[in-house]
């Protein structure tokens, strides 16, 4: 959906971004975006190559006679596509139907903007915006179109970063013609930061052997918990936000202390790397027990709202009568065990890094719960660790839970962490350029989120990497927003870094 406000500066960057916004590119279905990049390269006469993972590299020659190795610029083309339920404007992030709004930050509700055609923020009020990582893609395309390019560029556009990093995992450097020794990733989300390291991660999928029976004369009720902030399970895991899946398990445990509760369904979370902001369960109880359920829910909801008052939105709990397609529910024992599993799985911060203040060492995001009639209960956890040992420790905790409950588990290979290279000439050039441009030192740090740099370095040994980017807030959730002034700052900085590298 085209914006109804004037195109900001730098116009070339924003025009590319707005074209991307209208291009369907959810993770694992981002082919249209790769085709878009390829068509753009062909129009400009640049050579492009794809590999088996559908990554694409665009080779951009220098405009002067440079003998230096090319600089690799890298972003991923896919987005987390989340759309607000029940919207009336036809918004659908998975299909490129992303309404755009411009305005000022609203401190009372960070997912919305105060409308202003000259405001500094752009977001989508109904969907994710796709600035993560569409803005990086747009900046790369604009850099390639500069009339003066003192150094050759290799623009690497990877696929499926958000749901598995399978593009980076399957990257074929030789087939893509990659030869650069320095890589600038444009996926950092604060414009005063240079990221030099990141956590590794893996998915751990648990399957619970649920025991089903007829629900008999029980009545069914939907219990829906929402109102939480959600957010990125790496970048924002250190903010202590509530995980809707874990909190609903806590609520149901309290309810089961008062009544005989059987689970009939459960659906919570939608993306492995997003902290769940809502979760819904269907329970089977005797109708006469409904007042006890309501009383128990009211009591623990009040407790949770006090607990999360300074770090989350107001939690909202709704109980409504329903009738599932099948008149079945888990047995009391099976229901109790499943809820206890969800309470036992480590969730949120598991350990802090002692060497770097404020950096999370290990975490687990209980990302997705799915319990359907007659089927096994499914739980997907996203585990992160700055070291292999930290990653394995949290994984072992989940394994212990499965072994105690006769559940099965599938552990994905995951992706490696990215170890900082503090003496890199690339990093020195980036720090010096930032300091000269802005009169202060950048924040050089490692993050707990997963970036593709670790995998790319694994595929190209000896590669030096940094990550930069404009300020983006609320990514992976409805209301994701990007700062206009920050885009201008970051693009200018990127160009100056490239110019500095051409003279080293």
- Above 80 in pLDDT, residue 504? no
Q: Note the pLDDT tens digit of each residue in 30-45.
A: 999 999 999 999 999 9
Lowest mean pLDDT among 84-93, 239-248, 282-291, 351-360: 351-360
Residue 504, SS3 per DSSP: coil
Residue 426: predicted pLDDT: 97
What number is the average pLDDT over the span 202-216? 96
Q: How far apart are CA 229 and CA 337, in angstroms?
A: 28
HEC sequence for 210-227: CCEEECCCCEEEEEEEEC
Q: Do residues 293 and 222 lie in contact, with contact meaning Cβ atoms separated by under 8 Å?
A: no
Q: Note the pLDDT tens digit of each residue in 258-282.
A: 999 999 999 999 888 889 999 999 9
Q: Note the pLDDT tens digit of each residue in 307-342.
A: 887 776 788 999 999 999 999 999 999 999 999 999
- Which secondary structure element, helix H or strand E, spans residue 411, and what is its range? strand 408-411
Residue 65: predicted pLDDT: 75
- Above 90 in pLDDT, residue 446? no
Query: Other CB atoms closer than 10 Å to residue 380's CB: what's the count?
Result: 20
Whole-prediction pTM: 0.73
- Which secondary structure element, helix H or strand E, spans residue 500, and what is its range? helix 484-501
What number is the average pLDDT over the span 132-137? 97
Percent of the chain with pLDDT over 90: 79
Angle at the Cα of 175 from the Cα atoms of 464 and 137, rounded to 5 degrees: 60
Residue 272: predicted pLDDT: 86
Q: How far apart are CA 465 and CA 485, in angstroms?
A: 25
Q: Note the pLDDT tens digit of each residue in 142-185.
A: 999 999 999 999 999 999 999 888 999 999 999 999 999 999 99
Q: How far apart are CA 119 and CA 258, in angstroms?
A: 52
- Which secondary structure element, helix H or strand E, spans residue 138, and what is its range? helix 131-144
Distance of alpha carbon 129 from the chain centroid: 12
Residue whose structure tokens are 């206009």: 484
What is the residue-averaged pLDDT of the chain? 94
Q: Do residues 317 and 223 lie in contact, with contact meaning Cβ atoms separated by under 8 Å?
A: yes
- Above 70 in pLDDT, residue 470? yes
Q: Note the pLDDT tens digit of each residue in 382-414.
A: 999 988 899 999 999 999 999 999 999 999 988
Name the region of 267 (left: φ>0; alpha: ψ -120 to 50; beta: rest).
beta
Distances, alpha carbon 472 to alpha carbons 19, 147, 396, 466, in Å: 19, 28, 34, 18
Residue 1: predicted pLDDT: 67
Residue 313: predicted pLDDT: 72
Lowest mean pLDDT among 56-60, 186-190, 196-200, 255-259: 196-200
**Closest by CA position to 363, among listed 345, 377, 338:** 345
Q: How far apart are CA 191 and CA 163, in angstroms?
A: 25
Q: Which two three-digit tokens encode residue 408? A: 């099965």
The DSSP-derived string for 291-325 is HHHHHHHHHHHHHHHHHTTTTS---EEEEEEE--S
Residue whose structure tokens are 């500094």: 120
Q: Note the pLDDT tens digit of each residue in 49-66.
A: 999 999 999 999 999 877
**Closest by CA position to 276, among listed 310, 236, 303:** 236
Provide the pLDDT confidence category of residue 80 given band limits of 50, 70 and 90: very high
Task: Enumerate the CATH 3.30.70.360 domain ranges in the chain, comma separated.
Answer: 201-411
- Above 80 in pLDDT, residue 4? yes
Task: Enumerate the CATH 3.40.630.10 domain ranges in the chain, comma separated.
Answer: 23-80+131-199+417-473+485-501
Q: Does domain 201-411 have CATH number 1.20.20.10?
A: no
Q: Tell me which fold the domain 23-80+131-199+417-473+485-501 belongs to.
A: Aminopeptidase (3.40.630)
């Amino acid at each position: 959906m085209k914006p109804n406000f004037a195109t900001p500066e730098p116009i070339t960057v924003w025009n590319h971004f707005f074209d991307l916004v209208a291009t369907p590119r959810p993770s694992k279905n981002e082919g249209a975006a790769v085709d878009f990049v390829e068509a753009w390269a062909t129009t400009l006469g640049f050579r492009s190559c794809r590999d088996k993972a559908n990554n694409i590299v665009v080779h951009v020659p220098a405009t002067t006679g440079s003998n230096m190795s090319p600089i690799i610029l890298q972003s991923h083309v896919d987005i987390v596509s989340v759309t607000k339920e029940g919207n009336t404007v036809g918004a659908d992030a998975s299909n490129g139907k992303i309404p755009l709004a411009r305005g000022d930050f609203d401190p009372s509700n960070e997912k919305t903007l105060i409308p202003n055609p000259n405001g500094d923020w752009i977001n989508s009020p109904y969907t994710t915006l796709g600035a993560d990582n569409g803005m990086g893609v747009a900046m790369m395309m604009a850099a390639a179109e500069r009339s003066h390019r003192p150094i050759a560029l290799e623009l690497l556009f990877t696929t499926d970063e958000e749901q598995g990093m399978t593009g980076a995992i399957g990257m074929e450097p030789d087939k893509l013609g990659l030869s650069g020794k320095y890589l600038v990733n444009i996926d950092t989300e604060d414009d005063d930061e240079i990221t030099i390291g990141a956590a590794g991660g893996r998915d751990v999928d648990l399957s619970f052997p649920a025991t089903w029976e007829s629900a008999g004369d029980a009545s069914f009720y939907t219990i829906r918990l929402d109102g939480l902030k959600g957010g990125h399970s790496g970048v924002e895991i250190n903010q202590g936000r509530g995980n809707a899946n874990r909190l609903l398990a806590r609520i149901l445990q309290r309810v089961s202390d008062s009544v005989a509760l059987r689970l009939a369904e459960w659906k919570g979370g939608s993306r492995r790397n997003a902290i769940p902001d809502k979760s819904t369960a269907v329970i089977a109880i005797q109708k006469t027990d409904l007042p006890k359920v309501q009383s128990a829910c009211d009591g623990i909801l009040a407790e949770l709202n006090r607990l999360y008052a300074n770090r989350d939105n107001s939690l909202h709990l709704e109980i409504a009568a329903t009738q599932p397609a099948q008149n079945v529910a888990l047995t009391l024992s099976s229901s109790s065990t499943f809820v206890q599993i969800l309470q036992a799985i480590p969730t949120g911060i598991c350990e802090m890094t002692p060497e770097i203040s404020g950096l999370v060492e290990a975490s687990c995001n209980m990302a997705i719960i799915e319990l359907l009639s007659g089927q096994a209960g499914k739980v997907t956890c996203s585990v992160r660790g700055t070291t292999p040992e930290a990653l394995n420790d949290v994984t072992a905790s989940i394994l212990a839970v499965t072994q105690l409950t006769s559940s099965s588990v599938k552990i994905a290979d995951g992706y490696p962490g990215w170890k900082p290279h503090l003496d890199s000439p690339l990093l020195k050039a980036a720090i010096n350029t930032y300091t000269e441009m802005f009169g202060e030192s950048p924040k050089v740090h490692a993050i707990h989120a997963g970036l593709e740099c670790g995998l790319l370095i694994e595929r190209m040994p000896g590669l030096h990497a940094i990550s930069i980017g404009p300020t983006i807030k609320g990514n992976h959730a409805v209301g994701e927003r990007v700062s206009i002034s920050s885009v201008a700052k970051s693009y200018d900085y990127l160009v100056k870094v490239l110019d500095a590298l051409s003279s080293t």
